[in-house]
Amino acid sequence: MFYREAGQYKTSYAADQALFPILQDRIGIAAILLIAFVVVPLFASDFLLNSFLIPILVLSLAAIGLNLLTGYTGLLSLGTGGFMGVGAFACYKLTSIFPDANIVLLIVVSGVASAAVGSVFGLPSLRIKGFYLAVATLAAQFFLSWCFIRIPWLYNYNVSAAIEVPTRTAFGIPVTGPNATSVTRYLVALSIVVAMTWVASNIVRGRIGRTWMAVRDMDIAAELIGIRLYRTKLLAFAISSFYCGVAGAMLAFLWLGAAESESFNINQSFLILFMVIIGGLGSIMGSFFGAMLIWGLPIVLRAAPEFFGVTVRAATVEHLQFMVVGALIIFFLIVEPHGLARLWQIAKQKLRVWPFPY
Amino acid sequence: MDILYKILIDPFLQMGQAPDLFVQTLWEGLVAGVLYSLIALGFVLIFKASGVFNFAQGIMMVFAALTLVGLHAKGVPAFLALALTVVVMLVLAIGIERLVLRPLVNQPDIILFMATFGLTYFLIGLGEVIFGGEPKTMITDALYLPRGSYEWKAFGGFVAFQKIDIAAVIIASVMVAGLAVFFQKTRIGRALRAVADSHKAALSVGISLEQIWVIVWFTAGIVALATGIMWGARSDVSFALQILALKALPVLILGGFTSIPGAIVGGVIIGVGEKVGEFYWGPLLGSGIESWLAYVIALVFLLFRPQGLFGERIIERI
Amino acid sequence: MSIAAQSDPTPSSATDIILSVNNIEVIYDHVILVLKGVSLDVPKGGIVALLGANGAGKTTTLKAISNLLHSERGEVTKGAIVFEGQEVQNLSPNQLVKRGCVQVMEGRHCFGHLTVEENLLTGAFTRRDGKAAIKADIERIYDYFPRLKERRDAVAGYTSGGEQQMCAIGRAMMARPKMILLDEPSMGLAPQIVEEIFGIVQSLNEKEGVSFLLAEQNTNMALKFARYGYILENGRVVMDGDARSLAENEDVKEFYLGIAEGKRKSFREGKHYKRRKRWLA
Amino acid sequence: MRAPSEKDVAAGDVLLAVEDVSLSFGGIKAIRDVSFDIRKGEIRAIIGPNGAGKTSMLNVINGFYTPQQGRIRFKGKTRSKMRPYDAARGGIARTFQNVALFRGMTALDNIMAGRTLKMHRGLFWQMLRFGPALREEVEHRRAVEEIIDFLHIEHIRKTPVGRLPYGLQKRVELGRALAMEPDLLLLDEPMAGMNLEEKEDMSRFVLDVNQHFGTTIALIEHDMGVVMDLSDRVVVLEYGRKIADGTPDEVKKDQGVIDAYLGVAH
Amino acid sequence: RAEAQESIFVPLLTYRTGPFAGSGIPIANGMHDYLAMLNERDGGIGGVKLVIEECETGYNNAKGVECYEAVKSKKPVVVNPYSTGITLAIIPKAAVDKIPILSMAYGLSASAVGNEFPWIFNPPATYWDGLSMMFRYIGGKEGGLDKLKGKTIGYIYFDGGYGLEPIPLLEQFAKDYGFTVKKYPVPPAEMQNQSGLWLNVRRDRPDWMIMWGWGAMNPTAVKEAAKINYPMDKFIGIWWSGGDDDARPAGADAKGYLTLNFNGVGTNYPAIQDIVKTVVDKGKSQTPKDKIGENLYNRGVYNSVLIAEAIRNAQKITGKKVVTGEDVRRGFESLKISAARWKELGLPEFGAPIEAVSCTDHNGHHAAYMQQWDGTKWVKVSDWIVPMKEKVRPLLEAAAKDYVTKNQPWPKRTEPCDKST
Ligand SMILES: Nc1ncnc2c1ncn2[C@@H]1O[C@H](COP(=O)(O)OP(=O)(O)OP(=O)(O)O)[C@@H](O)[C@H]1O
Ligand SMILES: Nc1ncnc2c1ncn2[C@@H]1O[C@H](COP(=O)(O)OP(=O)(O)OP(=O)(O)O)[C@@H](O)[C@H]1O
Ligand SMILES: [Mg+2]
Ligand SMILES: [Mg+2]
């Protein structure tokens, strides 16, 4: 009964098309933002920030990127890791060329490099579809991984083929490197993610988003109503890779503080794909849910035995954790194949008719 | 000019100058290709029958090999262990059907793909709990798999044929041929293809998805066991083997997801292409190009045949 | 309204009822209530029509019977379905087919990558009476649908809409069922073929004693061939009766048969989008 | 919606002419040497037995299939090869025999997608959804709402179309085609699977579109009642060949048509 | 909470899962068991119990960093990342968090320069030392390094930071001694699929093969080498390629295969016997009894000896019983394990004497020896080989400088040096 849209009339089409047309949703989002921007920085521990919140923000952004491509446009990609890597290495190069530039700006700009590379690997998408397209993106994944090692210029000829994130500032405050506090890094990551999420939701609600979904749902019909498939798919590749690139730069600069080719390997691609699927294909919100579940669950599981005062060997915990995560993935898929986002919607639906069953 | 020479001419000169190495390269490519095909075959079976892209094929291979080696280590005679492993794979197939596939019937492909991911995680955990993470040595001798090699003196050098590789090629060919016949010519085979097309329609004509799935997953399990033995004999039996399963992807895509002969032809093309590429052109790029060459080869083929070499035509009709 | 209130003229004893649906309720996705208590009976050897507007729940009813619902995240939450005297809600679709109840789904779900003939062969999946019998049955179906014979080696995905429909019906017949649930058999078929198909339904019914439950929009045809009919609106049975009495009902005439004041209306004269008249409030 | 007048083609002129078109798939000859024309402002029915090549003909007209032989003349311009995009641009819209909606999108979004060709704001504004982009969105939303009103589908505006009953899906599909404001509307069995009442509604829509907006319509339908009542002229195909062409009354009496298609009842 | 204060927290980042578990498990076992033995036998170090906690990294950087963050809050006296990638990621954090990092003979070689990396320790030797020791050995076999002129040396390596690291020195040697280097990178996803690369080896016929391998890459390489009839006694692996499971799958075919090692193998040490008695036999360990004394197990023991000795040293310097990370850093900087001390520890001749770790040199460049596979087990075949410190040290200094310039602003060392005890 509390969650009702009854009585909330929309008087203009603009209001009807707003991001959160329902008042309760707007309040909810405002509360979440308030907590995220104010409460968390005040109270969260370093561990919570560094190992939980920042990673989830980074991974969510990558998941949004992949979701734009796979969930909205229906193009399966297994090259996310590679595109993230492009972003990370681009950011590293940029900051070594312009050490004094605002690092936040550089992080965002490095997405452009990734978008360019992404578009190139999107070229075969006109001819190749479905799982077959996945091979093109896999080629991207492995080829890029190889480049990250074989082109020493990318990591400034470092002997270990790794990038080490130097201390860089924005507005005089250290944002990256060892001297940046977790809170700063968290707030920067949060701001980027919130802004880019907002942009992504704008895109998918507008003309471009509709053309993407049309191509996903039935490309032949889309073509016949005048959507140019090729352009649409390439744009999806470019924007998606842009998001992944920024996420990659954030991964190196705001989260791990160092990165190497292996940080962007195929497993990373799969991980992001799972987040998208578990969270819900074609749902921005789902990307967050997915990241929280896939990243957060193992952490919680690892902490669980200690919490209950049982001592279990680290390796056993790890093994059990694999089993539990695997089982839970299957469980969630069975409960709701359309992902956590749909589950959330159904919950809201139930809330709407509560206390009646339907 | 020099670079052009190195790319366009020099490799072929080398092939001519050292034909023994060239033949050896082809052989290595063939063997690797056949081994890729075996992994791919597991994928194809399941994909054909249920439209499921089974990510867990790799871990099934590890799991099967580990079970075999583990049982043997517990003192079970090798061939009894082999039989028991087959039983384990059957139990696994039944379990998967009950707990994973049945509740997910008629869901989109990507969802089932994801479920097999969950399965992979689960099996990794389970495998490590039961067998531990240490690598094991394949019980090659106990299974009477041959060791050593034939050396063929020819072309002023030698070509070495590992006996185990010869065995792998033979086993793989027999399996592929048998399965191809079984699935093309029998009632079950047709039902399988029907299921891959549409779960819903298959249900409506009375095809028992449960039964079909158990059959294919079990068959895929046997293929996984064979693959595990062969790959295990080449290096060792460890969870790292699972990564190799990815190599089946370009093979699959090249051969077409649904074709059993496609798996073997695709495998050989990829295997030979990759080894020849690495051997003759790899050094120009600093070597180690094998990691992506296979995908690029597959990609080039796909641009000409988007459904793979033997894949079913993609039906586009409105 | 008047007819709905009448007592059921359903067949007398339970034994000659092959299928009986008792007050079932169906929910999709745990929240969408689609059937709100539907009951119907099909007598052995009968043809029963299920009529109703789009979205009334005809397809859902058929799927509930053939147990195909759970693959669409729907479930029967109340009521019982009895086939040949046994409750069948918990059987799998394939057990049901084995017992002789087959559904032809709406929208021609052929196996797109199989040839027409292979499609027909899969229809015989549950049969164990040998290759020869199956071969003979295929010929029988080709006799019914000569067009299919011409296209026997064509990949079903590429055949025309009508051809696919024939293929789907033929495929169901291959199971030699006792009862066929036919969902919109006439959809997209040329008038001649529609008549043919109904003719086939009738002859199967008469010669081989197959019972039919027929969900159909083409009320005209349906009432011509069926013996009994149920009208579904909004997930409820609002009227039932034998075919002739339904065909003579004024409301049915107006809304389902397009006959007003005794003669056929032209589609050019259709009133402006009248809202559908409801039997129930 | 768009004003009915059109400068380049006047009412009664030939809007589209199919000239000697042949199309085959491998061994199958789907269309053999068919010619006919569609005049501006008329409702032109295409009928024929199943597999006669009707759908294929529509596919040729809007560029999805390229005929091996023959040409299409549209608005006076002749071409033998045309891409679907160009057809859409040129003003050809259609609905499909097996509903081809974008299943994951809402009815509203489906119809909005029909307006893609008319929307021009670039990525930048789309990203911000602000200023010009928002204005454009609202403006087109208004046009789409008119279509929604017209088709009486207000109540399902926000429902994902995959869950709609068949009849409503067909209506949404019509809406999507209308949103393109086409000059030529191709309808492939718009009334299949509908009951009488809905057929009446749909007929009304077709007539209204034709009369009020002057849209030329090519209609494939198996319900002879509908075809005979609505269409101005009928072309009959059988096995890919044209076997008759004329007014409904002429066609109805044609013995060849009766044998091949209508059967005894009509 | 008296107990919490009376203990020393020693987290062990280990990996018993994933593709590298094969190498990770024995090491983890050795590390754990030695420390556990100290607890059982001596009641800890200096009378203070050690709290040993493993954190599973799966050899994955992100998880490793997570482990680091997780243990950080519990005041560890040392962090032991056990992966080069993880080490690289936490190097910059260590100085801020004031936690010493022990990356024993792996990690960033340049971190041996104590002035720039006061918190990082990588004894007993760097990869560059390892490479130089291999060359000393090769020189010995060839009758002088100058005999290498015109020869070919193949370098097969894990295609990642770890395998790339020795290349600058290798190329330097090539220039100095006039041989050609052929490189054979093994991509991470192809560790078990090396037949193509080994065909290249067969074509190039290098006179010596040097390997920087890890995990599943090792056994595969050894098998492939045997397959192409490469002379095994010309095939030398780094110390991370000398596990028992690396050579065992090839069995007799691997006979002659050489690797460097800096710890003793076998169970023939009193301390190892103590482990068996007080830990393994009591069921307080996950180690299967027959794996005790294997090379990588003993490597883990060696690692823990370094930790224990640094803690003990810190107790000595500060006079405190419960030492902190900052104390242990000082303990490391003046770490000494003489031959006599090794004996005292119950590990006679187990490792070369640790004598050169200091405030400026966090590595010490200690000696290692060559071991050879005899078909069933490892056999020591050389004396302690001393690295070419004079070649390595300048490179290290340069690398450290390079690192610091690339990571500007890099904090200046503020920690004072202790006088050697
Ligand atoms: N999978 C589903 N999920 C949610 N709702 C569904 C689903 N399938 C059907 N519905 C809803 O159930 C109602 C009844 O649908 P059903 O398909 O049974 O109608 P029908 O009478 O067969 O209509 P038609 O004549 O269009 O075939 C419709 O309102 C439809 O929207
Ligand atoms: N893409 C294609 N590939 C192969 N054959 C095709 C293809 N498209 C159509 N055909 C064949 O062409 C013939 C004509 O098909 P079409 O769909 O045009 O028939 P139709 O007149 O629309 O029939 P219906 O009334 O049943 O829809 C059919 O026999 C069909 O099998
Ligand atoms: Mg229906
Ligand atoms: Mg058609």
What CATH number does residue B288 fall under? Answer: 1.10.3470
The whole-number pLDDT of residue E237 equals 93
Strands A258-260 and A162-164: antiparallel
CA separation for the pair E150, E153 (Å, rounded): 10
Q: Which residues pair with C115 in a beta bridge?
A: C155
Task: For chain B, give the mean pLDDT.
Answer: 84
Type of residue numbered D41: G
Average the pLDDT over B270-298 and give the result. Answer: 84
The whole-number pLDDT of residue D1 equals 41
Average the pLDDT over D236-242 and give the result. Answer: 90
pLDDT for residue C7 is more than 70:
no
The whole-number pLDDT of residue A237 equals 94
Q: Is the ipTM of this complex over 0.95?
A: no
| E325 vs A: CB within 8 A | no
Q: Which ligand is nearest to the CA of C160?
A: 2
Name the one residue in this structure whose structure tokens are 């000795």: E309
Largest Cα separation within chain B, whole Å, is: 67
The whole-number pLDDT of residue D168 equals 85
Lining ligand 1 with CB less than 6 A are C 28-29, 32, 34, 52, 54-60, 72, 74, 106, 217; D 163-167
**Measured between beta carbons, which residues in chain A are less than 8 angstroms from residue C29?**
346
Neighbours of E49 (CB within 10 A): 16
CA separation for the pair D233, A114 (Å, rounded): 57
pLDDT for residue A354 is more than 70:
no
CA separation for the pair D108, D164 (Å, rounded): 13
Residue of chain A whose alpha carbon sits nearest to that of C70: A334
Distance from the alpha carbon of residue D57 to the mean position of ligand 4, in angstroms: 9
Question: Which range, A58-72, B19-33, B138-152, has the best average confidence (pLDDT)?
Answer: A58-72
Nearest to C144 by CA among C78, C186, C197: C197
pLDDT for residue E121 is more than 80:
yes
B311 inside domain: no
The whole-number pLDDT of residue D156 equals 86
DSSP result, D5-71: --SSS-TTSEEEEEEEEEEEETTEEEEEEEEEEEETT-EEEEE-STTSSHHHHHHHHTTSS--SEEE
> Shortest CB distance from B290 goes to which of E18, E19, E187?
E187
DSSP result, E330-370: HHHHT--B-HHHHHHTT-TTSS--B----SSBSS----BEE
Please, what is the end-to-end C-alpha distance for chain C in angstroms? Answer: 11
| D170 vs A: CB within 8 A | no
pTM above 0.95, yes or no: no
**Cβ(C158)–Cβ(C180) below 8 Å:** no
Nearest to D112 by CA among A204, A72, A64: A204
pLDDT tens sequence across A193-242: 999 999 999 999 888 999 999 999 888 889 888 899 889 999 999 999 99
Residue of chain E whose alpha carbon sits nearest to that of B280: E200
Per-residue confidence band for E134, with pLDDT thresholds at 50, 70 and 90: very high
**Cβ(E168)–Cβ(E181) below 8 Å:** no
Which domains are delineated in chain D? Answer: 1-91+183-266 (3.40.50.300), 101-181 (no CATH)
User: Tokens for D35?
Assistant: 């010619």
Show which subunits contact C, needing at least 3 CB pairs below 8 angstroms.
Answer: A, B, D
User: From the alpha carbon of D167, which atom of ligand 1 is closest?
Assistant: 26
**In the Cβ-directed half-sphere of C41, how many Cα atoms lie within 13 Å?**
15
pLDDT tens sequence across B188-246: 888 888 887 887 888 888 888 888 889 889 999 999 999 899 888 877 788 878 877 88
pLDDT tens sequence across E290-326: 888 888 899 999 999 999 999 988 888 888 888 888 8
The whole-number pLDDT of residue C280 equals 36
**Cβ(A243)–Cβ(A64) below 8 Å:** yes
pLDDT tens sequence across C82-105: 988 888 888 888 888 888 899 988
Distance from the alpha carbon of residue C61 to the mean position of ligand 3, in angstroms: 9
Q: Give yes or no for residue D52 CB within 6 A of ligand 2.
A: yes
Q: Which residues pair with A215 in a beta bridge?
A: none
B316 inside domain: no
Average the pLDDT over B286-298 and give the result. Answer: 82
Contact C30 A346 (CB under 8 A): yes
Nearest to A36 by CA among A21, A24, A53: A53
Mutate to test the pocket of ligand 1, among D98, D101, D103, D163 (most ligand atoms within 8 A of CB): D163
Per-residue confidence band for A247, with pLDDT thresholds at 50, 70 and 90: very high
pLDDT tens sequence across D92-125: 999 988 888 998 899 999 999 998 888 887 788 8
Average the pLDDT over E112-131 and give the result. Answer: 88
> Shortest CB distance from E54 goes to which of A50, A166, A313?
A313
User: DSSP class of residue B237?
Assistant: B
**Measured between beta carbons, which residues in chain A are less than 8 angstroms from residue C33?**
358
Average the pLDDT over E11-22 and give the result. Answer: 85
- For B28, counting Cβ atoms within 10 Å of its Cβ (0-12 exposed, 13-18 middle, 19+ buried), the class is buried
Contact D198 C159 (CB under 8 A): no
| B211 vs A: CB within 8 A | no
User: DSSP class of residue C190?
Assistant: -
Count of positions (residues) in chain B:
318
pLDDT tens sequence across C219-276: 888 888 888 999 988 888 988 888 888 888 877 777 777 666 666 667 776 655 444 4
The whole-number pLDDT of residue D217 equals 94
The whole-number pLDDT of residue A11 equals 63
pLDDT for residue A355 is more than 90:
no
Average the pLDDT over A322-346 and give the result. Answer: 84
Distance from the alpha carbon of residue C107 to the mean position of ligand 4, in angstroms: 13
Per-residue confidence band for C9, with pLDDT thresholds at 50, 70 and 90: very low
Query: D78 vs chain C: nearest CA distance in angstroms?
Result: 28
Percent of chain C with pLDDT over 70: 86
pLDDT tens sequence across E221-238: 998 898 888 999 999 999
pLDDT tens sequence across A248-304: 999 999 998 888 888 898 889 988 998 998 888 888 999 999 999 889 888 888 777
The whole-number pLDDT of residue C262 equals 60
- For E1, counting Cβ atoms within 10 Å of its Cβ (0-12 exposed, 13-18 middle, 19+ buried), the class is exposed
Percent of chain C with pLDDT over 90: 11
Which domains are delineated in chain A? Answer: 46-353 (1.10.3470)
**Measured between beta carbons, which residues in chain C are less than 8 angstroms from residue D28?**
154
CA separation for the pair E387, E385 (Å, rounded): 6
Neighbours of B60 (CB within 10 A): 32
The whole-number pLDDT of residue C13 equals 46
Which domains are delineated in chain C? Answer: 16-248 (3.40.50.300), 249-281 (no CATH)
Query: B299 vs chain E: nearest CA distance in angstroms?
Result: 19
> Shortest CB distance from A139 goes to which of B117, B299, B318?
B299
Distance from the alpha carbon of residue D103 to the mean position of ligand 1, in angstroms: 14
Which residue CA neighbors atom 27 of ligand 2 most closely?
C161
Average the pLDDT over C194-216 and give the result. Answer: 86
Q: Give yes or no for residue D53 CB within 6 A of ligand 2.
A: yes
Contact C107 D98 (CB under 8 A): yes
Show which subunits contact E, needing at least 3 CB pairs below 8 angstroms.
Answer: A, B
Distance from the alpha carbon of residue C156 to the mean position of ligand 4, in angstroms: 14
The whole-number pLDDT of residue C276 equals 42
The answer to whether A and D touch (≥3 CB pairs < 8 Å) is yes
Type of residue numbered E15: Y
Average the pLDDT over D17-40 and give the result. Answer: 89
pLDDT for residue A173 is more than 80:
yes
pLDDT for residue C277 is more than 90:
no
Query: A109 vs chain B: nearest CA distance in angstroms?
Result: 28
Nearest to E27 by CA among E312, E304, E232, E414: E304
Distance from the alpha carbon of residue D171 to the mean position of ligand 4, in angstroms: 18
The whole-number pLDDT of residue C260 equals 62
Report residue E309 CA to chain centroid gap.
Answer: 16
Phi, psi of E73 (to 5 degrees): -70, -15
The whole-number pLDDT of residue C273 equals 47
- For A356, counting Cβ atoms within 10 Å of its Cβ (0-12 exposed, 13-18 middle, 19+ buried), the class is exposed
pLDDT for residue C281 is more than 50:
no
Per-residue confidence band for B255, with pLDDT thresholds at 50, 70 and 90: confident
Contact C256 D55 (CB under 8 A): no
Type of residue numbered E392: V
Per-residue confidence band for E203, with pLDDT thresholds at 50, 70 and 90: confident
**Cβ(D23)–Cβ(D237) below 8 Å:** no
| A221 vs B: CB within 8 A | yes
**Cβ(B318)–Cβ(D98) below 8 Å:** yes
User: Tokens for E284?
Assistant: 């307080």
Per-residue confidence band for D86, with pLDDT thresholds at 50, 70 and 90: confident
Neighbours of A41 (CB within 10 A): 17
pLDDT for residue A312 is more than 80:
no
pLDDT for residue B130 is more than 80:
yes
Domain with B264 in it: 2-304
Per-residue confidence band for A356, with pLDDT thresholds at 50, 70 and 90: low
| D97 vs B: CB within 8 A | yes
Phi, psi of E16 (to 5 degrees): -105, 5
Contact E61 A256 (CB under 8 A): yes
Task: For chain D, give the mean pLDDT.
Answer: 85
B314 inside domain: no
Residue of chain B whose alpha carbon sits nearest to that of C99: B206
Residue of chain B whose alpha carbon sits nearest to that of C116: B194
pLDDT for residue A90 is more than 90:
yes
Per-residue confidence band for B149, with pLDDT thresholds at 50, 70 and 90: confident
Going along A223-265, which residue ranges are E strands?
258-260
**Cβ(A101)–Cβ(A109) below 8 Å:** no
Query: A155 vs chain D: nearest CA distance in angstroms?
Result: 32
pLDDT for residue E1 is more than 50:
no
Domain count, chain B: 1
Contact B122 A330 (CB under 8 A): yes
| C252 vs D: CB within 8 A | no
Task: For chain A, give the mean pLDDT.
Answer: 86
Our CA dihedral for A325, A330, A331, A332, rounded to 10 degrees, sits at: 90
